[in-house]
């Protein structure tokens, strides 16, 4: 079965990567690409005006809209998809709690699949973290993420997901974002460090140290292609599901 997708944020780094990845797949057809800077072509696909999204969804009837934009657009497009009966897959980060509430509202009408990171390696890292944290009870934990110099939100969405995983594994811990001056470490705090440099696609390290040993669990994305492939796997998986909230881990089961 071929799944038809629309791509929102089509002229952005991830939007372009998604369209490029779709061009190599037989199971996905890009029926629509939108951006707030229309007129360009990405991999031969014409990019149309995102302001026309409601009408475009009605006319092109994609099965799924894949969104990599910004928080405001993500919330707006989720509601537009809910109205149009189109499944919504998003990897947009930097959403507030209210933003996630809005996505959950859309999930009452259509399938919504959200992931702060669509790489399989991060899914495996999350499993490793959930196992390591209780096994190394009392060890200090520090989390470091490194991204390209154009990333807007910090810490990354993936870092926030990993922090939630750590909280689930050992109870809620205070988060300390960087340290400066007199800053003695509290026993349970998690130091969170966000680095921005060059064109690094995305790196995350969870460091556990204590008892004269340290364990570093690290993931490095070599290109945006890994995120794009995962998002398209998610789109293919969610296309014919019932309305509801879905997680990327379900796609990998």
Ligand X SMILES: O=C(O)C1=N[C@H](C(=O)O)C[C@H](O)C1
Ligand Y SMILES: NC(=O)C1=CN([C@@H]2O[C@H](COP(=O)(O)OP(=O)(O)OC[C@H]3O[C@@H](n4cnc5c(N)ncnc54)[C@H](O)[C@@H]3O)[C@@H](O)[C@H]2O)C=CC1
Catalytic pick among 147, 193, 204, 219: 147
CA 115 to chain centre: 4
Considering only 95-103, 149-157, 167-175, 180-188, which stretch makes contact with ligand X by CB under 6 A? 149-157
Considering only 55-63, 150-158, 185-193, 210-218, which stretch makes contact with ligand X by CB under 6 A? 150-158
Whether 198 and 219 have beta carbons less than 8 Å apart is answered as no
Considering only 44-52, 153-161, 174-182, 186-194, which stretch makes contact with ligand X by CB under 6 A? 153-161
Please confirm, yes or no, whether 212 is among the known catalytic residues: no
Any contact of residue 157 with ligand X (CB under 6 A)? yes
Residue 147: which of ligand X, ligand Y, none does it interact with, CB under 5 to 8 A by kind?
ligand X
Cite the DSSP H helix spans in 85-156. Answer: 97-106, 120-135
Distance CA(28)–CA(54), nearest Å, equals 21
Please confirm, yes or no, whether 177 is among the known catalytic residues: no
Site string for ligand X, 76-115 (x = CB under 6 A): -----------------x----------------------
Any contact of residue 146 with ligand X (CB under 6 A)? no
Kindly report the number of other CB atoms within 10 A of residue 228's CB atom.
27
Whether 107 and 245 have beta carbons less than 8 Å apart is answered as yes
Closest chain position to ligand Y (CB): 12
Nearest Cα to Cα of residue 108 among 227, 244, 252, 210? 244
Distance CA(149)–CA(158), nearest Å, equals 17
Binding residues for NAD(+): 9-14, 91-93, 115-118
Active-site residues: which are they?
147, 151
């Amino acid at each position: 079965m071929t799944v038809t997708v629309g791509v929102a944020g089509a002229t952005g780094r991830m939007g372009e990567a998604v369209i490029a990845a779709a061009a190599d797949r037989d199971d996905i057809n890009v029926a629509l690409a939108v951006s707030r800077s229309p007129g360009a072509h990405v991999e031969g696909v014409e990019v149309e005006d995102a302001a026309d999204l409601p009408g475009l969804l009605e006319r092109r009837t994609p099965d799924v809209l894949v969104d990599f934009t910004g928080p405001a657009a993500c919330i707006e497009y989720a509601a537009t998809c809910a109205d149009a009966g189109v499944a919504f897959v998003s990897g947009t980060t930097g959403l507030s709690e209210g933003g996630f509430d809005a996505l959950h509202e859309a999930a009452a009408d259509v399938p919504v699949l959200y992931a702060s990171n669509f790489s399989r390696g991060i899914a495996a890292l999350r499993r490793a973290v959930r196992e390591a944290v209780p096994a190394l009870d009392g060890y200090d934990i520090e989390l470091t993420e490194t991204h390209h110099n154009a990333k807007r939100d910090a810490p990354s969405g993936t870092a926030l997901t990993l922090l939630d995983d750590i909280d689930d594994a050992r109870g809620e811990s205070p988060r300390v974002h960087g340290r400066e001056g007199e800053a003695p470490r509290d026993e349970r705090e998690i130091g969170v460090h966000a680095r921005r440099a060059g064109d690094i696609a995305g790196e995350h390290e969870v460091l556990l140290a204590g008892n004269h040993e340290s364990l570093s669990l690290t993931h490095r994305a070599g290109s945006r292609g890994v995120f794009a492939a995962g998002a398209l796997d998610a789109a293919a998986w969610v296309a014919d599901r019932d309305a509801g909230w879905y997680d990327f881990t379900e796609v990998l089961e």
